[in-house]
Amino acid sequence: MEKTELLYSGKAKDMYLTDVPGVLWAAYKDQATALNGKQKVQIEGKGTLNRQISGLLFEAVEAAGIPTHFIKNWDDQTMIVRQCTMVPLEVVVRNYASGSFERKFHTAPLLPLAPAVHEFYYKSDALDDPFINDEQITALGFADASTLAATHQLADRVNAVLTALFASVGIKLVDFKLEFGRLPNGRLVLADELSPDNMRLIDEQSGRSLDKDIFRHHEGPLTPAYQVVLDRLKGAAHV
Ligand code: C5P
C-alpha cells in the first residue's frame, strides 16, 4: 500500500489517502500541542509511542466487540484505518474530576464521578471547540438522536474496556476524549486515536501523571511517561 494525497494535517496526526479506496494512512506526529494548538513543540519519539499505544488500545477495544476504524499497524509512526465521515463532536468521558471539570465545579482533585460524566464539544477551531449539549447537537443537525444515543452507549463500552485494562496494569483512567465516524455502510465506529495525548492516566502507586498533563503543566519530559504506559500495556494479560 502507498500513501497518496495528504487529506488533512491535524495537531497530532497527518491523514493521507492511499492507493486503496476507503483506506487511510494515519501518520502520528512528533508534535505536542496545548491550548488548542496555541502552544506547540516537537517531541522526538512521541509519534512512535502514540502509534504503538493507540494500536494496542484499538486492538483491545475491537477484541471487546466495539467497532472501530482501526485496520492494522503499518510502520513505526503509521496505522492504516478505514475512512469515515466524522461526527463533528469530541466526546469526553470522566471517571474522576480533573482538568476543566475540576476548575469549573471547584471539586476535590480526582473526586470519583458515578455514573461517569459524558460531555460533548463541537469540533470547531474557529469557535475553540465549545461545549454543546444533546439538544443543541440535534437542533443544529450535528448528529441525529439515534447517533447521539449510540455515541453515549459506545462511550460507556469503551470506558468499561479501557478502565479495566488500565486497572490491570496499575493505572487509573481519569478521563479521555473520543471521536466517532461513520463508515460508507452507515456503521458508527470509534475513530481518531487512543493515546495519552487524549486521556488522563495516573500511576496508582506513585500518583504520578502518565499523560499529556506533564507537557501542559511543564512537569518535565513526556516520552518517559508514555514509555511506561506502553511497557505496562505490552505486559497486560489480555492485550
Ligand atoms: O481539559 P479537559 O479536562 O476538559 O479534558 C478532558 C479530557 O479530554 C482529557 O483527557 C484531555 O486530554 C482530553 N481532551 C482532548 N482533546 C481536547 C480536549 C480534551 O483529548 N481538545
Annotated domain spans of the chain: 3-82, 85-221
Tell how strand 23-28 and strand 13-18 pair up: antiparallel
- Assigned CATH class of 3-82: alpha beta
How many Å apart are CA 57 and CA 158, to the nearest integer? 10
Closest C-alpha residue for ligand 1 atom 12:
198
Tell me the ipTM for this assembly: 0.98
- Of the pLDDT bands very low, low, confident and very high (cuts 50, 70, 90), residue 170 is very high
64 phi, psi to nearest 5 deg: -85, 5
Average pLDDT over residues 64-75: 98
CA angle 160, 164, 167 (to 5 degrees): 140
Q: How much distance in Å is there from the Cα of 110 to the middle of ligand 1?
A: 15
Q: What cell was used for 177?
A: 476524549
- Of the pLDDT bands very low, low, confident and very high (cuts 50, 70, 90), residue 126 is very high
Q: Express each pLDDT in 87-97 by its tens digit.
A: 999 999 999 99
The amino acid present at 98, given as its one-letter code, is S
How many Å apart are CA 206 and CA 224, to the nearest integer? 15
Pocket of ligand 1 contains residue 178 by CB under 6 Å: no
**The pLDDT of residue 152:** 98
Whether the domain at 3-82 and the domain at 85-221 fall into the same CATH topology: no
Closest C-alpha residue for ligand 1 atom 7:
176
Q: Express each pLDDT in 128-157 by its tens digit.
A: 999 999 999 999 999 999 999 999 999 999
Place of cell 444533546: 134
**The pLDDT of residue 238:** 58
Q: How much distance in Å is there from the Cα of 34 to the middle of ligand 1?
A: 10
Pocket of ligand 1 contains residue 200 by CB under 6 Å: yes
Average pLDDT over residues 104-127: 97
CATH code matching the domain that covers 85-221, chosen among 3.30.470.20, 3.60.20.10, 3.40.630.30, 3.30.1330.10: 3.30.470.20
**The pLDDT of residue 239:** 53
Q: How much distance in Å is there from the Cα of 138 to the middle of ligand 1?
A: 23
Assess whether pLDDT exceeds 70 at residue 176: yes
Average pLDDT over residues 162-179: 98
Angle between helices 46-63 and 145-167 (to 10 degrees): 110
Pocket of ligand 1 contains residue 95 by CB under 6 Å: no
| Model-wide pTM > 0.95 | yes
**The pLDDT of residue 223:** 97
Q: Express each pLDDT in 185-198 by its tens digit.
A: 999 999 999 999 99
**Average pLDDT of every residue of the chain:** 96
Q: How much distance in Å is there from the Cα of 198 to the middle of ligand 1?
A: 6
Q: In the beta sheet, which residues pair with residue 207?
A: none
**The pLDDT of residue 216:** 94
How many Å apart are CA 212 and CA 103, to the nearest integer? 17
